[in-house]
Amino acid sequence: MTNSIYICATSLCCSLVVCAIVKFISPTGNTTKIMTLVISVFMMCAMISPVCTALKNIKLSENKYVSNIKADDFTAVYDKQVLKQTAEYINEYTKALMNEANIYPENIETIIAVNESSGIYIRKMNIYIQEEKLDKTEEIKELVSSAVGTIPEVMTE
């Protein structure tokens, strides 16, 4: 950034020197107005040129960062995060539901998938309980399937 300002100031100073020399050398009379116009246009171009170059550089650097992130990559990361959050929510909901029924699971694993129409569904659910609670397997399956819509596999760790 500082280097760009230095280059801009240097080019403007050089332009001013060139314009002063041209004005000094130019003949007086009828051509004075034309030379003043030419020098003014040259100075305007000399002032605008660094600004245009800076704007192009800013746009290129923005595109450089944006081009590194592809839409497909962003969508894949977003979809993966949505599936992960959904699975965590379902696990917490199922655990709370089972705690209300005085069944305390050791762990719940939920695998979420996306179908062809971009709908989210539960592909598989594993509920890990203590061996002493294996007699409540049917109760757990009924409770979870009525609330979540899938029949879980109940097992011990």
- Number of separate domains in the chain: 2
The pLDDT score that the predictor gives to residue 121 is 86
Cα distances from 73 to residues 34, 64, 79, 129, in angstroms, run: 59, 16, 10, 38
Same domain as 82, residue 97: yes
> How do residues 70-127 score in pLDDT, each as one tens digit?
666 767 777 788 888 889 999 999 999 999 989 899 999 999 888 888 788 888 999 9
| Helix/strand/coil percentages in the chain, nearest 5 | 70, 15, 15
Same domain as 101, residue 55: no
The pLDDT score that the predictor gives to residue 81 is 85
Same domain as 89, residue 106: yes
Of the three residues 43, 68, 93, the one that is the final residue of a domain is 68
Same domain as 101, residue 54: no
CATH number at residue 137: 3.30.300
121: phi then psi, degrees, rounded to nearest 5: -140, 160
Residue type, 26: S
The pLDDT score that the predictor gives to residue 21 is 85
Nearest residue to 148 via CA among 115, 132, 126:
126
The pLDDT score that the predictor gives to residue 72 is 67
pTM attached to this predicted model: 0.53
> How do residues 21-72 score in pLDDT, each as one tens digit?
888 887 777 777 777 878 888 888 877 877 777 677 665 444 445 455 566 6
Range of the domain at 139: 72-156
Cα distances from 86 to residues 76, 81, 112, in angstroms, run: 15, 8, 8
Greater confidence (67 vs 12) lies with 12
Greater confidence (157 vs 129) lies with 129
Cα distances from 59 to residues 47, 54, 67, 74, 110, in angstroms, run: 20, 9, 12, 22, 45
The pLDDT score that the predictor gives to residue 16 is 82
The pLDDT score that the predictor gives to residue 142 is 92
Of the three residues 52, 68, 84, the one that is the final residue of a domain is 68
Same domain as 136, residue 78: yes
Cα distances from 137 to residues 69, 93, 100, 106, in angstroms, run: 47, 18, 16, 14
The pLDDT score that the predictor gives to residue 125 is 93
The number of angstroms, rounded, from the C-alpha of 50 to the middle of its chain's C-alpha atoms is 31
Same domain as 96, residue 57: no
The pLDDT score that the predictor gives to residue 70 is 64
Nearest residue to 124 via CA among 114, 139, 113, 116:
113
Query: What is d(CA 50, CA 56) in angstroms, rounded to the nearest whole number?
Result: 10
Greater confidence (147 vs 1) lies with 147
The pLDDT score that the predictor gives to residue 57 is 65
